[in-house]
Structure 1
């Protein structure tokens, strides 16, 4: 009896997850990568968001804003 109130939100969440998975499946079927563009981005030395944030902090952006 205690779980009766939980059922509706649970079923809504399941429906949402199913919709997201269906959407991602379609997206992944059509996704294309630009290898040369990705390689150029790696040459910039910014492999992680932390690298970019550190760069911005060195250039004068407040550390808190950069991160």
Structure 2
């Protein structure tokens, strides 16, 4: 499977991206994001793993899937 670098901008403060080797990460300049209930500090870049739960602000919740799963 070929992998690509992907960057997703969520609002004006949160950036979620992947590297070509399959690693995923999140960064938040506003400090309003949590991973599995732990706050991501402003300016911090955190690695993401399968089944991490991301909460952005008060209402957006996303479950991470880094590796494709069989359907």
TM value normalised by structure 1: 0.20
From the two aligned structures, give the one with the greater strand fraction: 2
Higher relative contact order (CA 8 A, sep 6+): 2
The structure in which a higher percent of residues are helix is 1
